[in-house]
Structure 1
């Protein structure tokens, strides 16, 4: 089971859905334009409703390219008048859950193998005398 509820996205997932960079999402979080919270693993999580509200309130934030201060190229903006479709959010949620489950499975299998190895070493060792007389 994943450590967050299904409607919560990581900044990377939110950036992918919003078609912006992760840094744009992080700047919006730091400036309190985008509501987010930290979960019990100290990772940022964003509610899908908050992401939709941010996208509708800040269409100018959604840029395909970021203009550096020294760069003279114009910025190409991409407005998001429509909220994120539920299918897209569901797909992102399922991908996040699958990754969390894969990570959890790998951790559990590694832990199991470690304990199995310890048990085999104990079973192969000769019995010890627990008394000194």
Structure 2
């Protein structure tokens, strides 16, 4: 059984010729292309190969939010899988209070930690 790589599937990027610009043309006309990206991304080519994409900041922020949503969904699925495995397994889970005691913590101390301090 082989693992499918990105090169084995069709490129999901759909673009029109009007969205292509060479890196040299982009450097000479950056202002014009900054206006164009307000409507749609611009794909930057070098030696007739697409090397990069220029998108507006709002689209970039949306991509970052979508990435965060996907990551949160992944962790939710992982947690559910572990929960299912727990119910299928005769092993007992470690009690939260036992873990806190081992590290010399109390529930109150842990609940008082701001979320951003835990996220790193």
Q: TM-score range by the shorter chain?
A: 0.3 to 0.5
* Structure that is richer in strand per residue: 2
TM-score by length of 1: 0.33
TM-score by length of 2: 0.36
